[in-house]
Amino acid sequence: MRHRKAGVHLSRTSAHRKALFSNLVAALLTNERIRTTDAKAKETRRLAERTITWARRVGDVLTKKVDRRTTEESARVVHAVRMARRVVRDRGAVLKLFDEIAPRFEGRRGGYTRIVKLGQRPGDAAPMSLLELLPDEGAAPSAPAETPAKGDKGAGKAAKPAADKGTAAKGEAKAAAKGEGKAPAKAKAKAETKAAAPKEKTSKK
């Protein structure tokens, strides 16, 4: 029995597992969303939430400038960064964790991620999941594009005549402009031919 042995083996050596989950957590912090198998997603969530908690605990200190921190506060930040680097080896991911992600979850005690089931993988039928960080609750939601409902057939039809009228008006304006440009040219050509005709008759005589 595996008493007090948390985690999964995944048919890998311990060094391989550490590297795998370090890369998965770094990818989650960088992209805020990864697609992997169910077993890897559950284990990655456990390590990611622990890492985010280290950064969240020093969120009050991170808001201060470096020169305004006391010696004790600076030591807390250094300790938190070192604990996060035990899991995440990517420097860019750690910087984003302490600069952007930790302030987002400052008032939240756990539950920073969610797992969405995606079904089976086509090749080997492995159950797949989408592991992602929760969005910022304070951010304003983006306005969705207005699309007519399926049953509302009149909305699409009513928009077409208006567009046709606009295009027709533009076509008429262009035609009028072309006509105005052509009319003077035609008048000039007729005048030139009339002026040239008498000269030719006199020369023949």
At 107, phi and psi to the nearest 5?
A: -95, 15
In a domain, 185, yes or no: yes
In a domain, 139, yes or no: no
Same domain, 91 and 19: yes
Same domain, 126 and 57: yes
Q: What is the residue type of 121? A: R
**Residues 96-142: pLDDT tens digits?**
999 999 999 988 888 999 999 999 999 999 999 999 999 877 655 55
In a domain, 198, yes or no: yes
In a domain, 1, yes or no: no
Same domain, 70 and 98: yes
Same domain, 74 and 157: no
Provide the residue range defining the domain that includes 173: 151-205
pLDDT of residue 156: 46
Report which of residues 204 and 94 the model is more confident about: 94
Of the candidates 12, 99, 119, 88, the residue with the CA atom closest to the CA atom of residue 55: 99
**Six-digit token string for 54:** 């280290």
**Residues 20-71: pLDDT tens digits?**
999 999 999 999 999 999 999 999 999 999 999 999 999 888 888 888 889 9
How many other C-beta atoms lie within 10 A of the C-beta of residue 186?
9
Residue 76 has pLDDT above 50, yes or no: yes
**Residues 188-203: pLDDT tens digits?**
556 565 555 554 444 4
Same domain, 95 and 178: no
Same domain, 114 and 156: no
Same domain, 125 and 156: no
Same domain, 165 and 76: no
**Residues 144-163: pLDDT tens digits?**
444 445 455 444 444 444 44
Using the CB atoms, write b or e for 113-146: b if 16+ within 10 Å: beeeeeeeeeeeeeebbebbbeeeeeeeeeeeee
As a residue count, the chain comes to: 205
pLDDT of residue 60: 87
Same domain, 48 and 19: yes
Query: The CATH number of the domain where 97 resides is what?
Result: 3.90.1030.10
pLDDT of residue 127: 96
Instruction: Work out how many domains the chain is built from and give that number.
Output: 2
Residue listed under structure tokens 């990864």 = 34
Strand, helix or coil at 37?
Answer: strand
**Residues 158-187: pLDDT tens digits?**
444 444 555 555 555 565 555 555 555 555
Are 129 and 117 in contact by the 8 Å Cβ rule? The answer is yes
Same domain, 112 and 173: no
pLDDT of residue 56: 93
Question: Which residues fall within 8 angstroms of residue 116, CB to CB, at 6 or more apart?
Answer: 129, 130, 132
pLDDT of residue 168: 56
